[in-house]
A = this chain, B = another copy of it.
């Protein structure tokens, strides 16, 4: 298998991929557009489902340097929903959504946790966009321009991003005279890592964090590299043993057909690819992305993995292995005139941005080197990874940096001893849960996991069809947050008396 493709694909799997969440075939999941209750659109964001006001903060390009060019600024977008807020002096909390690797307005459309729970807290809601995405792109506002040279993309990293959030939130509290309002930061996936790291690094800004599906242990050898693929495999195996076996044996069939005369034409026809396949790994990588996508976003009520496996199994007596695999693809992606094997490699902001982030500091060594998943072995090879990143971006990845700055092998012990007020929520069917915190670490570092959940489910919009375990997961989280705020409000007076005497 061509390493480059595999490698680049590896870069691309780690997206919250909001588009994947909302564009899934309606047969598989209830699409957003079908069940959304649109509110009056007074928002400046035309596609928003929530009444928000948009603001821009003049943000420093580099918080950790005093070179003249580090003093450059950019406009960072954030949005406020104040309709539930009890106002200044109320000490009502602020829910702050920490944007991740996509434009923040995309997130507002699918993340319901803040607006659904703000009313009972009388909370202010703020959504902050991550630098280099959406409307918060330095160097003129264009992603292409910001990413085109090595100097302008150097400022694009997580430490700068969470420093941005601190600056935005402190000015917001000051501007709104909300100094006594505790802030709860919320994020999912990469944004969930940012939320937990934010609580660790800026406890004077955020009282607590909800880190949804945050694989903070998937760095520098802390969690086993094979975890991701083990869980994808387990998901399929649990849905159907025969489906799992069919997928498992399909890879060698693809290779056998590819080696035949006109083999690539045959494969292209069998899988109705939009363009003729250039090699078999193009197809293999595409299918790999389909399976991992289905597993990562294996959400109720229909569960894509189950739907795929039902289609694969149902075709067993009608067609051969590759025909079965194609039926699974159709079940997942819908009945189309053709299938684009580049579906996951589009130059979206997310792909461009995360490609860089994972090649600079967010080095997650995801691979699997043994014959014990439904995928062919594909170990993570750091040496090749480094070489590829270097050839793509001209700089070396820093795989040790995340664990140096945020904590590494002993992170759970450190969280136990030092930290407080973080919820790590995970769905155990989410492949990224293999890098997540899955046990309670202390009475305020809590794991809220669901056996049947997938990626970021808890923070997505609630739906009438949500299963009881998901409703309960969200309730548990809200009760924990209520506890933090009650404790905060109860002891602030006492502490002020004690400390500020």
Question: Which residues of A approach B to under 8 Å, CB–CB?
Answer: 62-71, 150-151, 153-157, 159-160, 163, 166-167, 170, 179, 200-201, 203-204, 360-361, 394-396, 398, 401, 404-414, 416-420, 439, 441, 492, 495-496, 499-501
Contact = CB atoms under 8 A, between A and B. Distances in A.
A460 to B, nearest CB: 29
A64 B412 contact: no
Contact of A395 (B66, B411, B414, B500): B66
Given A441-B499, A492-B413, A65 B66 contact: no
B361 A154 contact: no
B63 A405 contact: yes
B405 A154 contact: no
A156 B494 CA distance: 40
Contacts of A67: 150-151, 154-155
Contact of A62 (B64, B68, B203, B499): B64
B413 A154 contact: no
A394 B439 CA distance: 51
A157 B66 contact: yes
Contact of A153 (B66, B396, B410): B66
Contacts of A414: 203-204
Contacts of A66: 153-154, 156-157, 360-361, 395, 398
12 contacts: A63-B405, A68-B151, A69-B151, A71-B396, A167-B404, A179-B409, A203-B407, A203-B414, A203-B418, A204-B414, A413-B496, A416-B499
Contacts of A405: 63, 163, 166
A65 B68 contact: no
A40 to B, nearest CB: 37
A119 to B, nearest CB: 27
Contacts of A71: 395-396
Contacts of A419: 203, 418
B413 A499 contact: yes
A495 B159 CA distance: 29
B64 A204 contact: no
Contacts of A409: 179
A495 B413 CA distance: 7
A213 B414 CA distance: 27
Contacts of A160: 64-65
Contacts of A157: 64-66
Nearest to A68: B150
A196 to B, nearest CB: 13
Contacts of A401: 63
Contacts of A411: 204
A163 B401 CA distance: 10
Contacts of A499: 412-413, 416, 439, 441
Given A170-B404, A420-B418, A155 B65 contact: yes
A170 B405 CA distance: 11
B68 A166 contact: no
B68 A394 contact: yes
Nearest to A439: B499
Given A64-B65, A66-B153, 10 more contacts: A63-B401, A65-B65, A65-B160, A66-B395, A68-B394, A166-B404, A203-B407, A203-B414, A203-B418, A413-B499
A407 B70 contact: no
Nearest to A496: B413
Ranked 6 nearest A-B pairs via Cβ: A67-B154, A204-B407, A64-B64, A203-B418, A204-B414, A66-B154
B495 A416 contact: yes
Contacts of A167: 404
A47 to B, nearest CB: 32
A401 to B, nearest CB: 7
B68 A417 contact: no
Nearest to A167: B404
Contacts of A404: 163, 166-167, 170
A13 to B, nearest CB: 21
Contacts of A417: 203, 420, 495
Contacts of A63: 64, 159, 401, 405
A417 B492 CA distance: 10
A413 to B, nearest CB: 5
> Which of A65, A156, A401, A441 lies at the interface centre, i.e. has the most chain B CB atoms within 10 A of its CB?
A65
